[in-house]
């Protein structure tokens, strides 16, 4: 697999080797040794699946405590996936990266602990897979506003459908140091 470092330290796009022929394809979706050699050393403790329809936007989510790193990929459909560095003291605080993930390109995106994460569905439906480095903590979950003007993320949809929780997202500048993860 090809592991590509982004402009934000610790954030990676993973391009697996795909072996295909007229019968279909085979690819390795996780190999601890390969990821460890690339610097992704966290242990994954929980796997999640999410199914969503076109224009559904989920995020930008994070939790504190129990910050989760996520290795994400799309099993069916296509999404625009975004990670925002929200670690206090990080040289890239408030910076973000986006990548299109799809069943066609089979890319993965590694989002380390301390980042907010979200995606919007571009295809009719999408089946989205997460490997997480910590367990879900509903008491510590928060959302940053998907349309935070200071982040200026160019989402490829104008009027996404949001959950009630995501409609209540907070601008990053309005979060206190206590609410944000710390850069280590």
Known catalytic residues?
61, 130
Which residues, listed in sequence order, are joined to residue 85 by a DSSP beta bridge? 115
Helices (H) and strands (E) in the chain, counts: 2, 13
Q: Are strands 70-76 and 78-85 parallel, antiparallel or unpaired?
A: unpaired
Q: Count other Cβ atoms within 10 Å, centred on residue 18.
A: 12
CA 122, 123, 128 angle in degrees (round to 5)?
Answer: 85
For the chain, how are helix, strand and coil distributed in percent, rounded to 5? 10, 45, 45
């Amino acid at each position: 697999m090809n592991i590509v470092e982004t402009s934000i330290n610790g954030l990676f796009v993973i391009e697996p080797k795909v072996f295909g022929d007229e019968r279909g394809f085979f690819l390795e979706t996780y190999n601890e040794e390969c990821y460890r050699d690339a610097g992704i050393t966290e242990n994954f403790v929980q796997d999640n699946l999410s199914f969503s329809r076109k224009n559904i936007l989920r995020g930008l989510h994070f939790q504190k405590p129990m910050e989760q790193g996520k290795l994400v990929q799309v099993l069916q459909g296509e999404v625009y996936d975004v990670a925002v560095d929200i670690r206090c003291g990080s040289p890239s605080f408030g910076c973000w990266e986006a990548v299109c993930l799809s069943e066609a390109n089979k890319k993965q995106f590694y989002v380390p602990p301390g980042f907010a994460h979200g995606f919007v569905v571009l295809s009719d439906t999408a089946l989205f897979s997460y490997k997480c480095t910590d367990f879900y903590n509903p008491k510590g979950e928060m959302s940053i506003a998907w349309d935070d003007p200071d982040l200026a993320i160019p989402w490829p949809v104008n009027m996404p459908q949001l959950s009630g929780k995501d409609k209540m997202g907070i601008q990053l500048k309005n979060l206190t140091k206590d609410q944000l993860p710390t850069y280590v």
